[in-house]
Every structure is written in structure tokens, then in C-alpha cells.
Amino acid sequence: MSKEQRNLRAGDSSETTDAAKPRRDIANEAAAHALRLLEKVRHASEARLAKTDTDGDGQQNAAPHAVVIGGGIAGLVAARELRQTGHEVTVLEATGNFGGCVRSTEVAGLRIDAGAESFAVRGGVVASYLDELDLGEQIAATSGQPAWLIQGEDQEILAHPMPATAMLGIPGNVRTDEVRAIIGRPATVRAAADLITPMSKKWATEKLSIAEVVRARMGQAVLDQLVAPVINGVYSTDPAKISIDAAAPGLRQAMQETGSLARAVSKLQASAPAGSRVAGLNGGMHTMVQALVAQLEEAGVALVRNCAATALSHDPQAAAPYAVRTLGQELHADRVVLAVPAQPALELLNPLFAAEQQLDSDGDANAIALAILVIDKPELDDAPRGSGVLVSKQAPLAAKALTHSTAKWPRLADESGPGTHVIRLSFGRIGEHENLVESGDDSALIDQAIKDASKILGVQLHRDDVLGSTVSRFSDMVPLQGEAATARRTALQHNLSDFEGLDVVGAWIAGTGLARVIAQARSAVAISAR
């Protein structure tokens, strides 16, 4: 395909005009549509409340009504569970799209994941759920291309293949040329001490972060140069803030069994060899959202977009104890599931709690941005940096990670064709303020993405190589469960014990990753199911 053909596919707007077309007030149309749906839901809710049994004892005959606030993956999963247990379900989504962090965008004629693009294979939670959605046959393996690591300081960039034996950057074999090239010979000798240093019995039960474990067993160089880039790139936070049990389930036990961190990693890696740790879907992970929405619509769930909940009240003596306020309407519900990020969730919940029980949202900066480029550059056909790159914090780059999506996903490579490449660069870290991300200037972010991609890939890119670009922003990212998050979750669960039929789901409670989010949403709804 020629460059001219690719530009045509991307769409040349210079030859078209909408000047003669009447402008539609899309925002008002969306609000009007939401209000019409809400009116139907409200009437149905009132009709259910009016129904009593023939004995006149005031008990409802109609199916209980559940309102799910938030239409991300956690909310959609909870809605499906509730519908399957006989509830009438209404989902209120504040934006115009369902799926939350699992989203898509069209760039240069290609439909691309603009959020989560893969899921962890370990444990089988996501794969099993995809089977339930009749998507099991659409699960797609990666190309098997390796990941790389970028180091550097001042203006010097060094690129190394990530050690093939590594998990979260922790090497299962420290005596390899790959490890030595990254951390140096003296640091390799220090790391090898892990193999002969006795394992403290205290480590079987005490609270441990990834940083504590790696520093104690293998040294600071392994932590800074191998582990931190992975944790920063994948989870947007510092390894000191992540529990070892949340980040690597089973690693603590394997350490006790093998007496070594490296041998523990090797033991876990044996059950998940390189190239099979993550998978995706043919058509992209966003097709999971499409399947969920389609099933919910077919089951009669009311899915209301552009409809933010503004207040939640509780009257245990009422026939339907919960009332949700939205767009000037009040919906009565027997059950409510909050599937929104921490700040909006706590704004709704705190008025229900006593003053001493109210919780603060995480005050950490958490703005993350994903710059997506579709570029015409045949020089990248050989995937010079494999499936993608994780960047050391000391390197002279703004991006923390790059994914070469067309090198990682054969389906996307086939769709884009030779010479055309999809590159995704991630910017921003939880707990750190970055003007480039927080300014909201998409053009500046794309310019930086082009510069950083050139350095990372070792191929000079220019604006005219870019067939299309976009920025996907996330303002509610959370790290994996650390000590503070665990304490907040415990306090919240204690508060919720006084409210039958009120549940909270989502990543800020479950932790990062589809497996955690899906499992927690299903468990939370099942625990209080009637």
C-alpha cells in the first residue's frame, strides 16, 4: 500500500466541508435521550413499588430493582450478574461510552484499543469470563516478540532486551549476559547473593513491598534498573507502593519453598513461559465491552449514557430503601452498586456515613495519558524494539513505556499492512505531577511522543510520517493494593456492613487489572445477593 493510499484511508478532510450542513447540538440531544430513558426507568420503578401481593401485606411481587452507578467493566459485569439473578437493572454512565479503561478509538482508518489492550493469562479468570461471553474462540496470543528496556542519562540512550527469565523485571537467572549488560558485573555479583542468603522466616507473614523484597535479596541496582521501569511502565507507580502479594500472587510462598527470590521467579515462570503471560482478543479488547453491552441490552437492562448520579440516599423503612438522584430525576432501588472511581464514589457514600466514618479519596496525582500514533515507516517492519519498551526513570525521555502494537498483535499487523505501524506511548506516573500530561495539550503530547518514539525505536520519525494520532486520557488510575489502599478498603467494608444491598466495585477497591476487577465485581454482588 502506497503512502498516498494510506493517507486516503486516514481521510483527507481538506476536500470536504460541513459548512452547508445544519449543526446538531449533540450535547443537548444526548441529554434529552438520557432523560427519556430515565423517565421510562422511573415509571417502571414506581410501577414495581405500587405492586403488592394479593394478601395486602405490603410485600413486593415484582422483581427487585438494582441501580448500577458507572458503566465501566466492573459496572457492566455487576449488571450482568444482577440481571442473571432476577433483578431489573439500570446502569447509569456519566460519559457517552461504556467500558471505562477498556475503550477504543479510530485512527487512520484503524480501530485501536485506546486503553487496556491485553489481560493476564495467569489464573484463568479473564479467559473463563470471556468464554461466558462467547468470546473464548476470539482470544488471541501475542506475536511472542520480546520486550526491551531503555536506560540512559543526559542525552545518551541505551537499549537492551529484557531478560527472558524476568517477571516484573526480577530475573529468574541473574548470571546471564542480558542481566549483566543492564546492571553491570558488580551488581550482578550482588544479585547472585540471593541464591545463598538464608530466607528470613519473618518474610512468610510480614507486610512486604516489591521494593523491599528486591532490594534485600538482589540489591538496589536490580530494583532501580530492572524492576522499577517495569512497575512504572505497567502500573504507573513506584515499586515501594505495591505489595508483593498483590503484584505477584504466589511469589512469597515460592520464596519460602525455594529459599531464593530468583528460584521463586523461575518456579512461577515455568507455569507461564514468555509470550504466554498476556493475551488479547481478535478485534481488540474493546470487543469485550461490545459483547457485554449487547448481552445486557438483549436481557432488558436499561443502559443510560450521559447520566451522572449526583446523590444517593437511604431509607431502611422504605419499600425500596435507596434513592439515586440524576438529571433531576429520582430512581428508587432495592440495591445499588457503585462502580465509579474513588472520588465520585466517596462523594455519594460519605453523606450516608457518620462523620467519624467518612473516608478521604486518594490525594495522589494520577493523571495518565496514552498517545497513539499510526505511522508510515517501513523501516519498522523488522520491529527493532520487539513488542515494546519500558523506560528507566533516569533516561532522558518523557514517555515511561512504548508498545509497538503492530509488532505485538499479528491481527493488527495484518489489518494495517506492511509499512504501517501502530505505536502507543504512555506518559504520567501516579503520585507525580507532570505538566505535559496535566496541561491537557494534546498537540504538545503528540509532538513529544514523536520525539520519544524516534529515540526509543532508533528510527527518526517526523510529523509527515504520522498518518493519524490521538490522545487517550485517564484521571482515575490506581496502583495495585498497597498498605494505605488496603486500610481504606477495610474501613469501607466496615461502613457498608450497615447497608444491606449496597456494594462498591472497581479498580480502586479491587486493584489494577481485568482479572482483579472482574473477580471482585462478581464476588461483591454475590455476597449480598438476595
Q: Report how many domains make up the chain.
A: 3
Is 186's pLDDT higher than 60?
A: yes
Say if residue 194 is in the same domain as residue 253.
yes
Res 22: pLDDT: 53
Rounded Cα–Cα distance for residues 377 and 457 (Å): 11
In tens, the pLDDT along 95-148 reads 999 999 999 999 999 999 999 999 988 889 999 999 999 999 999 999 999 999
User: In terms of DSSP bridges, do strands 335-338 and 65-69 run parallel, antiparallel, or are they unpaired?
Assistant: parallel
Whether 36 is covered by a domain: the verdict is: no
The average pLDDT across 479-502 equals 82
Q: In which band, very low, low, confident or very high, does the pLDDT at 14 lie, cut at 50, 70 and 90? A: very low
Assigned domain for 34 exists = no
Q: Does 356 fall in a domain?
A: yes
- Angle CA 320–325–327, to nearest 5: 140
Beta bridge partners of 72: 99
pLDDT at 12 over 60: no
Read off the CATH number of the domain in which 305 is found. Answer: 3.50.50.60
- Which tens digit of pLDDT belongs to each residue from 411-426? 999 999 999 999 999 9
Going by C-alpha positions, the residue among 380, 362, 350, 365 that lies closest to residue 457 is 380
Helix (H) or strand (E) holding 187: helix 185-192
DSSP per residue over 60-94, as a string? --SPPEEEEE--BHHHHHHHHHHHHTT-EEEEE-S
What span, in angstroms and rounded, lies between the C-alpha atoms of 63 and 86?
Answer: 6
Q: Give the residue from 244, 245, 270 showing the smallest Cα distance to 165.
A: 270
The DSSP bridge pattern shows strands 466-474 and 368-376 to be antiparallel
Work out the pLDDT band at 11, boundaries 50, 70, 90. Answer: very low
Based on the fold, state whether residues 468 and 502 are members of the same structural domain.
Answer: no
Alpha helices in 369-441 (DSSP H): 405-408, 410-416, 435-438
The last residue of one of the domains, among 474, 489, 506, is 474
List the domain range (segments joined by +) for residue 468. Answer: 364-474
What are 443-471's pLDDT values in tens digits? 999 999 999 999 999 999 999 999 999 99
Neighbours of 286 (CB within 10 A): 22
Asked, for residue 210, whether it belongs to a domain, the answer is yes
214 and 199 within one domain = yes
Mean pLDDT of 212-225: 95
Percent of the chain residues topping a pLDDT of 70: 84
Q: Is residue 438 part of a domain?
A: yes
Give the list of residues 6+ apart from residue 95 with CB closer than 8 angstroms, or none.
Answer: 71, 305, 306
- Give residue 490's identity as a one-letter amino acid code: T
Are residue 453 and residue 485 in the same domain, yes or no? no
Q: Which residues, 6+ apart, have CB-to-CB distance to 289 below 8 Å?
A: 73, 76, 98, 99, 102, 103
Whether 4 is covered by a domain: the verdict is: no
Both 497 and 512 in a single domain? yes
Q: Are residues 177 and 92 in the same domain?
A: no
Q: Is residue 430 part of a domain?
A: yes
Domain boundary among 271, 298, 322: 271
- 387 lies in the same domain as 406: yes
Residues 296, 433 share a domain: no
The CATH number given to whatever domain includes residue 211 is 1.10.3110.10
pTM of the model: 0.85
475-480-482 Cα angle (round to 5): 115
Do 169 and 267 fall within a single domain? yes
Is residue 508 included in any domain, yes or no? Answer: yes
The CATH number of the domain holding residue 444 is 3.90.660.20
Q: Do both 342 and 331 map to the same domain?
A: yes
pLDDT in tens, 47-65: 666 654 444 455 556 789 9
Q: Which residue has the cell 482470544?
A: 139
Pairwise CA distance, residues 134 & 302, whole Å: 22
**Pairing mode, strands 401-404 and 388-391:** antiparallel
| Contact yes or no for 505/339 (Cβ under 8 A) | yes
pLDDT digit string, tens, across residues 264-281? 999 988 765 444 579 999
262 shares a domain with 171: yes
Of 224, 242, 271, the residue at which a domain comes to its end is 271
Single out the residue of 6, 87, 115, 17 nearest to residue 320, CA to CA.
Answer: 87
The pLDDT-based confidence of 478 (bands split at 50, 70, 90) is: low
d(CA 389, CA 241): 22
Checking if the pLDDT of 300 tops 70, the result is yes
Enter the DSSP assignment of 240. G
Q: Can you tell me the distance from the alpha carbon of 172 to that of 165, in angstroms, rounded to the nearest whole number?
A: 5
pLDDT at res. 19 = 44
168 with 239, same domain?
A: yes
